[in-house]
Structure 1
Amino acid sequence: MRHARTDRAPAAAPRPGTAGDPRPPRITATVPVGVPPLWALLERRLFDALDEAWRAFARRYCEPDGRLRHEGPMESRDGADDFYEAFFNWPTLYRLGGADDLLEAAKHHWRGVTAQLTATGHVVDEFERGYDWFHMGESLLLFYGICAADPGDAEFRERARRFAELYLPSSPAGNYDRETRTIRAPHNGARGPRYGVNEEWSSYGAHLTSMRPYGLPLRDLPGITCWADLGDPGKAARMGAAMGERLGRGDVAVNLAATSLATNAWLYDHDDRFRSWALDYLAAWWRRTEDCGGILPDNVGPSGLVGELHGGRWYGGSYGWTWPHGIYSVGNAAAVAAVNSVLLTGTTAGLGLGRAPLDLVAAHAATGSVVRTEMSIRDRWEAELGEDVARRILLVPNRYADGGWFDYQPPQLGLPVWLWQAGGAAQDAARLEWLRQSCGYDWRTVRGFRNKEEAGHEAPWLMYLRGENPDYPTAALGAALAQVERRMALIAADRTEPGRLDIHHWQRHNPVLTEALLQLTCGTPQVLYNGGLLPLRLAWEDTLRGRPGLPPGVAALVEEAAAERVCVQLVHTGLTGTRRVLLRAGGFGEHRIDTVRADLAEPGYPGDPRACTAPAPATGTREMAVGGPGLEVELPPGRRIRLELHLTPRAYRAAHHRPGRPGS
C-alpha cells in the first residue's frame, strides 16, 4: 500500500510565541466515585509496585555511587548503551507520578554510569566518544527523560546544550560537514567522527555467531557469498577491511536520530542554532529521498553523493537497509526525526520523512506465518503474537539487497502509531486502519510480555481508543503488574557475580514498566526506543507538591484520543485529602485547550445519615472556555470527573515546562 506524499521539508520560519504561564482555570470534581473502578485501583497498585521494584533493582545491581556492578570485559566501541538502558524509563515513571525520590535516583545513576564509562574510555566529557546512533539513541533515553522531568536543573540544561553543540557546523568536534550537509561518519560523538568499525570486527569471521542471523555485512565482495565463507581467515580479514572502508565513513540514515539531541536543547530556551541545524539536516535527507524517487537512502559518501561507497546503491550503509536490521533501524531513525520536526516547526510538513520507509515496505507486503518464514528476529514476535505466530498474517520486508526484498516480519506498529500521534493526519490514521484490516489476527488480544523496548501493546490499545476493546485498561494493567512481579522474582533469584554479568543482564531485570501507564494516563505510546523524545498527549502536574505527575491516590484514564479531541477520566481513589492536578495539553505545552465539557453532580450526596443507602447522584454537564494549554482540576476525596477536551493542536511553541511552586 502506498499513500500519496504531498509533504515537503519543513520550512525554517519562526513559530508563534510559547504559551505564557497565567493561572489556568480550575474545575472541581463533584461526582461521587461510589464503587471504585477496577482500572483505577489497578493503576494505583501499579504505581505502588513500581516504587518497590526500582528500589530493589538499585539495591541488587548498583554501587553506592550509582554505577552498575560490573567487572567483566568491554568491547572497544559497543556497550555503553546497555549501561544507560538499565534505567531508561525511570524518569518517565517519575514524570507520570512515581516516587518523589525517583528523579534524584535517576540522576544519581546517570552520573554514576557516566563516571563508570569514562573510566573505560567509552565516554569523554560526559558524552559517548563515538558510536552509531542506533545505539547512542538508546543510551540517551535516560538523559532525555531527566531533561523533560526536570528542566529546571541547570547542570542537565548545560549538558543538553553542550552535547547538541557537538553537531553544529561551528563545533571543533567536526562531526558535521556544512558543505555536504552530512555527519561525517557512522560513528560519531564527543571526539568527532570516529572512522572505521568496532576493532573486534577487523577480522569479521564466522566465529561472530551472534551476528550470523543478519548475514553478510557486505554482499558484493568477490568470493564471499555466504556466512560459511567467513570461516576462512583471509576472507574474514578482507570483510573486516572492507567494512572499515565502506561502513566506517560517510553519513548514514540512522544519524537522523541526532536531531533529538538538538531538539532537546532547543526545548529549553529556543536557541535557533539547534533548530536551524536540525531542520537543515532533515531537509538534506528529504532532498535525497526525493532524488531517489521517494526512497530514503541509507548512505551518503564523503563527497555528499548517495551510494558513493556502495557502487551507486541507495542501500548497503551501516545499520541501513541491508545490514543488520533494515526498517527496524532506518524506519526508527526516520520516525524519530519526523516527530522532532513537528516539535520544531509546529507543522506536520516533515512527517513525510517518517512515512516514506513505511510506505516503501508496505508496497511489498506479503502474507505468511512467523513459524514458517525465515527472519532475523523471531523471539519478539513469538512473545508479542503468541499462538498467532502459526497463522498466515501480514508480513513486510525489513531489508533490501541486490537480490531484492527479504527478511519478512510482522510490521512494527510503534512507528506508524507515532506518526499518527505526532500529527493526527488522516493518512496516518488510514495507514493504521490498513494494517489492522490486513494483519490477519485480532488486535484486541492482550498478552503478557516485556520486550527490550518495553513496548508492543499498541494494537489492543488502539482498539480500546476505537471503543472496541473496553477491557483493555484492566487487562493491560494486570499484565504489567504480572511482569513487575516476575522481574522482582528474577532479581530475588539472581546469584550472578559482577564478573560474569553479560551487559544485557540489567535490561532483562529492570522491573520498571511504563507502557501501560503512558497509554492510559497520557494517551501516549511508548517512546521510540532508538533515540526518540517523548511528547506526551496529556501531561499531569501535582500542583500542591509542585512536581510532575499524578498526585497520590489519583488515577487517570484517557478514553478517546484524537488531535482535536481527548476524553479523560480522573478518579480520586483515596478517602482523605483534596488533590489538585494540572492537566497540560501536550508534554511540551504545545496544544491549546479551547473548551472543556465536564460531568458534574447536583447537590444531595451523601444524603441523610438516617438512610441506609446514599441517594443516586443527579449528574449534568458543564462546558467552560479554557483558551490555554492548561486546566487545573480539584479532586476532593472520593470524587471523579470526566473531561472532554476540545483542542487546537500545536497552537504554541513546544518547550520544556517547569512545574510551579508547591501549592501555587
Structure 2
Amino acid sequence: MPGMVTITASVRESPPSWAVMQRHLIETMNEAAPLYLDKFIYSGGTMRQHGKLDDDYECFINWPLFYIIGGDDKFLDWGLQQFNAITRQWTYQHQKSVHKEFVKHYDMLHLSEGYLGFQYFGLADPTIPENIDRARRFAGFYMNEDPDAPNFDPQYRIIRSIASGSQGPVESSGAGYMLNYGHATLYPIVKDLEQGWDKDPKRREEIQKLYDEVVTPCDCPMNLCITGLVSHAYVLTGDEKYKKWVLDYVDAWIERTKENNGIIPDNIGRTGKIGEYRNGQWWGGFFGWSGRYSIEMLFNSLITSSEWSYLISSDPKYLGFFRSQIDVLLDNAITRDGNLLIPYKMGPDGWYDYRPMEPFGLSHLWHASMNSKDWERIERIRKGTKNGPWAYAYAESPNPPAPGSEMWKPDGTLFDWNAVRNDLIGNKHRLNESPHLGYLGGINPDWPEKILNAEYEMVCRNIERLRSDTYRNSWGSQTVLTQNPIFTNGLAQMTLGASFTGFNGGLLNASVRYFDRDRARPGLPEDVAALVEKLEADRTVLQLVNTNAFETRSLIVQAGAYREHKFIDVKFTEQSKNSEGNTFFSEKTVPVNKDYFVVELPPATTIRLEIGMERFVNKPTYAFPWH
C-alpha cells in the first residue's frame, strides 16, 4: 500500500491498566464464543432453541462488530454461518416466515433490529457476492423492484403498511397485542377501549376490523428505519438510486413534519394525508406519540434515518430534522422537584407523562454534528437530571402492563450520570451512554476502567449461565439471546469513539476504525489496545498501546467507519536520545491529507495521536484501504 503516511511510536513505558484490561476482555470473549455455539447451535448453524425471528438474528448481531473491532478471525465466519443458517431455518422450518431470504411481513421495529448484523457484514467484508446480491434484493423490496413486494407508493412517498417485507405490505395485523400493550390506539374512533374487549368474539372481530382500517394501512415513523438497509446497499454498491430513494423518503417525512407545525406525525394514510383515518389527528398511531414506549421508538427511527441521510449526503438538514424533535420536547419541558422533565406522550388533553430525557438520542446527534450547541443540550439534560430511576421502566415480562403502572416517578435516589451499569442486555446497553459522555466531557476520568470492568463482569455472568444450564429469561424468546457472551458496546466506545449503535438499523458513527496491516483484515492487531480520549469537530485524540514486549505491531487507522472523514495531520510526541544518552521528548506534526495512515508500534510502545480531521467530506464506502 504505497503512499501511506507512516508514524512510528517511540515512547516505551508500562501499558496503562485499561490497555491490559481491554486485551484481556477481547481474549476472554474469543474463548467464550465456542461455549455459546456448542450449547445452542447444531452443526451447520441452525438453532436448537428459538426466539422470535429477530431475536434469533440478534443472538449474533454483534459478532461481526466484534470482528471489526479486533475479535478472532472466526467471528466473521461464525457470524456468516449463523445468518445463513437462521435464514434457512426460518425459510423451510420454523414458521416459514422468510421468503427470498427476507422476512415475509414484519413491523419495522423488529425487522430493523434483526438485520442490523447484516449491515455490519459490509464493514467486516464488503466483497462477498452473496451479501451484495442480498443487499440489492432487500433494498429492492422497498423500491418496487420485486412485483411480489409493492411496499412503496412513489406518488405519495409512503410505505403502505405498518408491516411489510418480501411479500409486500400487510392489510391485516394483530390488534390484540398492540392495543393491550399500549403500542397503538384507535383514538378518536374508539375513545375508551374497554378492558377485556378481546374476550368477546364479536367485539374482537369488530375491533380487529377497525384496527385494520385505522392503524394497519398507515405509514408510520418506525418505517424510517428501513433507510438503514437501503443506505447499506448504497454504501456497498455505490449505486445512486439507493441514495436517491433514501433522501426522497426522508424528505417526505420532513415535509409532513413542517406541515404538522414542526412535530412529526405518527400516522399517514394511503394518500399521504396526516391522520387520514383518524379525522386528521396526527397522534395515536403504531409505536407513536401515545404508545407505551413513545419517544424511545420515535427517536430510534429518527436516529437511524437522520444519521444515514447525513452520511450519504453530508447535508446537515437531516440532523436538523432529528434536532427539531428534541427541541420540541425541550420547549415543552417542565421542572419538578429539581428535575427537568420532558413530555413523552401526546393524548386528548395534550402533552403528558413527563420524565427525564435519556441522553442516548442527544449523544447520537452530537457524535454526528460535533456541534457545540448539541453539547449544550447534553449538558442541560445532565444538570437537569437529579433523581432516578431511568426514564423507562422496561417490560420485564410478556404480560400487559397495568394501567398507569409505568408512569415515571422519582424514587428518591440521586441520579449518577457517570455510573456504569453491569446488568444490561440488548438495546439496554444504551444506558451506558451517559458515563461515556461524561468521560468525553472531562468529568468521568476513570470511565475506561469502569466500562471494561462492567463488560468483563457481564461476560463472566453469561459464561456462568452457559455452564450452569439453569438460566431462563422471563421472556422465553430471549433466553438464548441473553446468554450471548460477546459484549461490544464499551469496546466500540473506547476504540472507535462511537456511541452505542442505533438498534433499529443504525450506523456505526465511529471517528476512526482500524485494519491489521500484517494480517490484512479489519480490527486491531493482536496485543494492541486503543482509546479515543477526546472528540472535537476538527480533532480526535487517540492513544494506541502495544502490550507485547517482544513483537512489533502495524495497523492502519482510517477516518470514520465508512471512510467518510479525512485526516489533515497528526501531532504526537517523539522520544529520542542525544549523543550523551539522555532521553528527551519533542512534539512532531506530520501532514496526512488522506483517509488513513499507518502506525508502527514497536514492542512495549505507546503513542498518543492528536489527529486533525475534516468530517463528512467523502462519499462513504465499505472498501478497505487495499481494495
Q: Scaled by the length of structure 1, what TM-score is found?
A: 0.85
SS at match of 1:518: helix
Q: What do residues 314-365 of structure 1 show as CA deviations (whole Å, max 9, x unaligned)?
A: 1122121122421111111011100011111123221122123322222333
Question: Residue 87 of structure 1 aligns with which residue?
Answer: 60
Aligned match of 2:500 in 523, 526, 547?
526
* Cα distance in structure 1, aligned partners of 2:106 and 2:593: 45
The Cα of 1:299 is off from its aligned counterpart by: 1.2
User: Does residue 165 of the first structure (1) align with residue 144 of the second (2)?
Assistant: no
User: Does residue 66 of the first structure (1) align with residue 26 of the second (2)?
Assistant: no
From the superposition, tell whether residues 461 and 543 of structure 1 become closer, same or farther in structure 2 (CA, over 3 Å).
same
* CA RMSD across the alignment: 2.4
Question: Residue 396 of structure 1 aligns with which residue?
Answer: 342
Question: Residue 97 of structure 2 aligns with which residue?
Answer: 122
The Cα of 1:397 is off from its aligned counterpart by: 2.6
Task: Give structure 2 stretches of 5+ with no counterpart.
Answer: 387-414
SS at match of 1:146: helix
Give the counterpart letter for 2:138 in structure 1: F
Counterparts of 1:78-477 in structure 2 under 5 Å?
Answer: 79-119=52-92, 120-172=95-147, 173-198=149-174, 201=175, 204=176, 212=180, 214=182, 217-222=185-190, 224-228=192-196, 230-366=198-334, 393-440=339-386, 441-453=415-427, 454-477=429-452
| Fraction of identical pairs, as percent | 32
8 Å CA contact 1:327–1:357 kept in 2: the answer is: no
Aligned match of 2:533 in 548, 559, 564?
559
The Cα of 1:296 is off from its aligned counterpart by: 0.7
The Cα of 1:448 is off from its aligned counterpart by: 2.1
8 Å CA contact 2:184–2:286 kept in 1: the answer is: no
User: Does residue 544 of the first structure (1) align with residue 512 of the second (2)?
Assistant: no
Give the counterpart letter for 1:61 in structure 2: F
From the superposition, tell whether residues 422 and 281 of structure 1 become closer, same or farther in structure 2 (CA, over 3 Å).
same
Give the counterpart letter for 2:351 in structure 1: W
* Cα distance in structure 1, aligned partners of 2:87 and 2:440: 40
Q: What do residues 35-64 of structure 1 show as CA deviations (whole Å, max 9, x unaligned)?
A: 321000110011011112222111111111
Question: Residue 597 of structure 2 aligns with which residue?
Answer: 631
SS at match of 1:508: helix
From the superposition, tell whether residues 88 and 409 of structure 1 become closer, same or farther in structure 2 (CA, over 3 Å).
farther
* Cα distance in structure 2, aligned partners of 1:564 and 1:556: 20
Question: Residue 6 of structure 2 aligns with which residue?
Answer: 26
* Cα distance in structure 2, aligned partners of 1:530 and 1:196: 23
SS at match of 1:590: coil
Give the counterpart letter for 1:186 in structure 2: I
From the superposition, tell whether residues 591 and 216 of structure 1 become closer, same or farther in structure 2 (CA, over 3 Å).
closer
SS at match of 1:84: helix
From the superposition, tell whether residues 232 and 368 of structure 1 become closer, same or farther in structure 2 (CA, over 3 Å).
farther
Give the counterpart letter for 1:44 in structure 2: R
The Cα of 1:216 is off from its aligned counterpart by: 6.5
* Cα distance in structure 2, aligned partners of 1:179 and 1:537: 38
Aligned match of 1:575 in 549, 552, 563?
549
8 Å CA contact 2:515–2:555 kept in 1: the answer is: yes
Give the counterpart letter for 1:650 in structure 2: F
SS at match of 2:593: strand
From the superposition, tell whether residues 367 and 212 of structure 1 become closer, same or farther in structure 2 (CA, over 3 Å).
farther
The Cα of 1:223 is off from its aligned counterpart by: 7.5
From the superposition, tell whether residues 175 and 603 of structure 1 become closer, same or farther in structure 2 (CA, over 3 Å).
same
User: Does residue 492 of the first structure (1) align with residue 458 of the second (2)?
Assistant: no
Give the counterpart letter for 1:54 in structure 2: A
Q: Scaled by the length of structure 2, what TM-score is found?
A: 0.90
* Cα distance in structure 1, aligned partners of 2:577 and 2:182: 67
SS at match of 2:84: helix
SS at match of 2:463: helix
Question: Residue 644 of structure 1 aligns with which residue?
Answer: 610
SS at match of 2:558: strand
The Cα of 1:433 is off from its aligned counterpart by: 1.7
8 Å CA contact 2:135–2:233 kept in 1: the answer is: yes
Counterparts of 1:29-48 in structure 2 under 5 Å?
Answer: 29-33=9-13, 35-48=14-27
Give the counterpart letter for 1:300 in structure 2: I
From the superposition, tell whether residues 309 and 146 of structure 1 become closer, same or farther in structure 2 (CA, over 3 Å).
same
8 Å CA contact 1:547–1:659 kept in 2: the answer is: no
Question: Residue 16 of structure 1 aligns with which residue?
Answer: none
Question: Residue 570 of structure 2 aligns with which residue?
Answer: 596
SS at match of 2:318: helix
SS at match of 1:599: strand
The Cα of 1:552 is off from its aligned counterpart by: 0.5
The Cα of 1:502 is off from its aligned counterpart by: 2.0
* Cα distance in structure 1, aligned partners of 2:354 and 2:205: 30
* Cα distance in structure 1, aligned partners of 2:458 and 2:444: 21
Q: What do residues 45-93 of structure 1 show as CA deviations (whole Å, max 9, x unaligned)?
A: 110111122221111111112122126xx8xxxx211111111111111
From the superposition, tell whether residues 497 and 338 of structure 1 become closer, same or farther in structure 2 (CA, over 3 Å).
closer
Give the counterpart letter for 1:43 in structure 2: Q
SS at match of 1:299: coil
Task: Give structure 1 stretches of 5+ with no counterpart.
Answer: 1-20, 370-391, 609-614
SS at match of 2:495: helix
Question: Residue 31 of structure 2 aligns with which residue?
Answer: 52
* Cα distance in structure 2, aligned partners of 1:363 and 1:145: 36
* Cα distance in structure 1, aligned partners of 2:209 and 2:334: 37
* Cα distance in structure 2, aligned partners of 1:227 and 1:562: 53
The Cα of 1:170 is off from its aligned counterpart by: 4.5
Give the counterpart letter for 2:70 in structure 1: G
Would you say how many aligned residue pairs link Structure 1 and Structure 2? 595
8 Å CA contact 1:301–1:308 kept in 2: the answer is: yes
From the superposition, tell whether residues 523 and 216 of structure 1 become closer, same or farther in structure 2 (CA, over 3 Å).
closer
Give the counterpart letter for 1:577 in structure 2: E
